[in-house]
Amino acid sequence: MSENKKVLLSLKDVEVKFNVRGRILTAIRGVSLDIYENESLAIVGESGSGKSVLTKTFTGMLESNGFISKGSIIYQDDLLSSLQCTLTKREIRRYHRLVKLLNQQAAYLGGKDDYLQILEEKKALKRMISLTPEQKEDFSTRKKDLTFERVELYNKKIAAETSKEKKEIALEIKKKDKEISQLKKERRQVLKEKRNKVFKDKDFMLAYKNKIQSLKQHYLEKVSISSVSEEIKRQNRLIAKEILLSIERYSPVTQFFYLNSLKDRFSEAYKKGLEMTEETIEKLYELITFRVIFKGVENEYFNALSDQEVQEFKQKNQELLKDQSENYEMIQSFVDSIQGNEKLVYFIAQKVVENPQTDLTTILYDSYDEAIMIPNTIMKGYTILDLTKIKTATDWQKIRGSRIATVFQDPMTSLNPIVTIGKQITEVIMKHQNCSAAEAEKRAIYMMERVGIPDAAKRFKEYPFQYSGGMRQRIVIAIALSCQPKVLICDEPTTALDVTIQAQIIDLIKDLQKEFQFTTIYITHDLGVVASVADRVVVLYAGQIVEAGKVEEIFYDPKHPYTWALLSSLPQLATKGKELFSIQGTPPSLYNVIKGDAFAERNPFCLAVDLQYDAPYFYVSDTHFAKTWLLDPRAPKIEKPEIIQNIHEKLEKTLTQFSKEEYEYVRYNKQRSHLVDTEYRHRLSKR
């Protein structure tokens, strides 16, 4: 699949945590996954396995106590990644100030050894007046234990039935609060004693101040005589352009804040003597904003010229540099490398003639910079969109709805009951498509027709309560697709619907996917639904991917015991008169560190190694992998459960039986159209 389709979303080592009453719950643990363009992907697992949490990270919809602690989610979209900045006189002044500041800070590279020594002396003093690692660990452990005990008492108080019990527990909670307060007081006292001991030692403090003063003096002497190379100056010009591009999309206040933060970071980096490699620059941008890489410009020196203009400037260049053929070739080569035109060649040639004593390389780069920094020039850049780094609502609005849309399981949680259906669709279109109200209404009615709403124009002004459950879900799908997103997340879209409507909604999503060419991500615990809609399946358990592959590989050649258990619980495989298979036990607590395989306690095929070590991923094929020790060459040969052996034949047999019952049902209704067996129809539809 990777050879034929473009990767749209790329997840790498994603870890999601929640802060729940003072405890950390790890909902997603090290998920890595590529999602391709125009594919149907199903994410399967029990409730609490992390399916919905994982997809909420794509749209920044995690609950307020949730956060992504690790990993990256790269979204590939050339339109969103391409950014530009139109230079004004104000921007040009800002650029020159930035270059000047960066060059000044680069001079501090000469005194980096002294600066690092000053920092080390300050750190040594800080260590002396701070808690030791052992003391920190002790206080932290005691505080965690007391906090945990208090949380347990609070939960016990909520569950208490009588007021007497609640009062008794409330007193115990107060005692715990006093113990926590006393612990904090003890910690402050220890710190105070350590600080007093150091700061009252006059001889030590005098020696420390003299040493710092001497280092600072030596540091400033070195900085004053150091010079900045032309190479670093050129690099600083590029950094300044990238900073302007990176802050362009924000409001003036946010621009000011981000600009100052980046200035401070680059200044500190130069003082520490860091080399401005790609990795270093990326780290300096972290936690502030996206780094936008400079890609080029559009203005009179870089736009395409007519053939006549090209010939005119070539003639001028040759006349100007008739005795400098070597320089002319070098200028032409340089201009070609930066995608300039003949006018830029002429501009640089003039500078060469005007400054015969100046180095040619210096003239080339100075002229290039001068040709860019003119009003109305459009600077172009490109950024790599990492969804884990998006901080502002403005940036999320460019992703949600227009690029990634979601259909939730209960339509009434997505629809406003006191706003008309038409209004709810048109406001989304107007927000993301920048069109008029009349045009938005036309598009809204068209989408209502596409999702199967009869008399869409007439029902445009109706309210959600005037629609049935299935029709409301169709409206939610229409809203989600109204801006033609590239990814549609379907979070159990049929769970809240009647069984007779579920198949219609699934077929509708499949038909719309073919028409609008978007990627569909289904979140479900029903493998029966997966078989008919997905190209690939990802099985999630305790926040980890335990198996992934094409739908045929997961159904007909599953490798992980958890996948075996999910398939075994399919109603279609049940034998008449026997109980349905169910997975014994409960998933592990995500508050604790999980040792070994998370499924080990519930796994009837558990090996001794499963209890001690987490399995790596074993690849069955290029598209199929599973996280189980059973695939290790050293593991004993274990056959999958009998119920899912020859699953293809069993499902075909079920389908044949279903077709016979359907035929009998149709024949029955034709003969007795006035007597419709609704119970029989309901049972048949459910199957």
Which residue type is seen at 349? A
CA pair distance 353, 324, nearest whole angstrom: 10
Q: What is the pLDDT of residue 29?
A: 94
Q: What is the pLDDT of residue 323?
A: 65
pLDDT in tens, 34-60: 999 999 999 999 888 999 999 999 988
Lowest mean pLDDT across 139-148, 355-364, 515-524: 355-364
> Beta-carbon neighbour count of residue 565 at 10 Å?
23
Output the average pLDDT for the chain. 87
Q: What is the pLDDT of residue 3?
A: 54
| pLDDT-derived band at 330, boundaries 50, 70, 90 | confident
Average pLDDT rounded to a whole number, residues 482-495: 87
Percent over 90 (pLDDT), the chain: 48
Q: Which of 391, 660, 489, 627 is nearest to 51 (CA)?
A: 489
CA pair distance 76, 335, nearest whole angstrom: 31
The residue with greater pLDDT, 359 or 100, is 100
Lowest mean pLDDT across 2-16, 90-104, 163-177: 2-16
Residue 381 has pLDDT above 70, yes or no: yes
pLDDT in tens, 80-96: 899 999 999 999 999 99
Asked if 486 contacts 402 with a C-beta cutoff of 8 angstroms, the reply is: no
Q: What is the pLDDT of residue 686?
A: 46
Q: What is the pLDDT of residue 393?
A: 83
Q: What is the pLDDT of residue 673?
A: 46
Q: What is the pLDDT of residue 687?
A: 47
Give strand ranges (E) for 171-321. 292-298
Lowest mean pLDDT across 404-413, 467-476, 636-645, 653-662: 653-662
Residue 4 has pLDDT above 60, yes or no: yes
- Taking each helix axis from N to C end, the angle separating 421-433 and 437-450, rounded to the nearest 10 degrees, works out to 120
Residue 663 has pLDDT above 50, yes or no: no
Average pLDDT rounded to a whole number, residues 70-75: 93
Helix (H, G, I), strand (E, B) or coil at 668: helix
Percent over 70 (pLDDT), the chain: 92
CA pair distance 386, 72, nearest whole angstrom: 6
Residue 520 has pLDDT above 90, yes or no: yes
Residue 432 has pLDDT above 80, yes or no: yes
| pLDDT-derived band at 469, boundaries 50, 70, 90 | confident
The residue with greater pLDDT, 327 or 122, is 122
Cβ-based neighbours of 442, under 8 Å, separated by 6 or more: none
Domain positions in the chain are 116-223, 307-373, 551-646, 651-686
CA pair distance 124, 181, nearest whole angstrom: 30
In degrees and rounded to multiples of 5, residue 35 shows phi and psi of -115, 130
Q: What is the pLDDT of residue 311?
A: 83
Q: Which of 313, 233, 316, 312 is nearest to 270 (CA)?
A: 233
Which residue type is seen at 29? R
- Residue entry with tokens 């909670």: 173
Residue 519 bridge partners (DSSP): 487
pTM above 0.85, yes or no: no
The residue with greater pLDDT, 4 or 685, is 4
Residue 130 has pLDDT above 60, yes or no: yes
Q: Which of 440, 401, 402, 404 is nearest to 422 (CA)?
A: 440
CA-based R_g, the chain, Å: 33
Average pLDDT rounded to a whole number, residues 430-445: 88
Q: What is the pLDDT of residue 198?
A: 92
Q: What is the pLDDT of residue 183?
A: 94
Asked if 73 contacts 58 with a C-beta cutoff of 8 angstroms, the reply is: yes
Average pLDDT rounded to a whole number, residues 148-157: 86
Q: What is the pLDDT of residue 528?
A: 74
| pLDDT-derived band at 360, boundaries 50, 70, 90 | confident
pLDDT in tens, 175-194: 999 999 999 999 999 999 99
Residue 669 has pLDDT above 60, yes or no: no
> Beta-carbon neighbour count of residue 611 at 10 Å?
13
Residue 97 has pLDDT above 60, yes or no: yes
CA pair distance 52, 61, nearest whole angstrom: 10
Q: What is the pLDDT of residue 589?
A: 87
pLDDT in tens, 564-618: 998 888 876 666 667 777 888 888 888 888 889 999 999 999 999 999 999 999 9
Q: What is the pLDDT of residue 504?
A: 82
Q: Which of 361, 77, 106, 411 is nearest to 239 (CA)?
A: 106
Q: How many residues does the chain have?
A: 687
Q: What is the pLDDT of residue 72?
A: 93
What is the side-by-side order of every strand in the sheet holding 7-20? 23-36, 7-20, 66-75, 385-386
Lowest mean pLDDT across 3-17, 67-81, 199-213, 656-670: 656-670
Residue 236 has pLDDT above 90, yes or no: yes
- Taking each helix axis from N to C end, the angle separating 421-433 and 469-481, rounded to the nearest 10 degrees, works out to 10
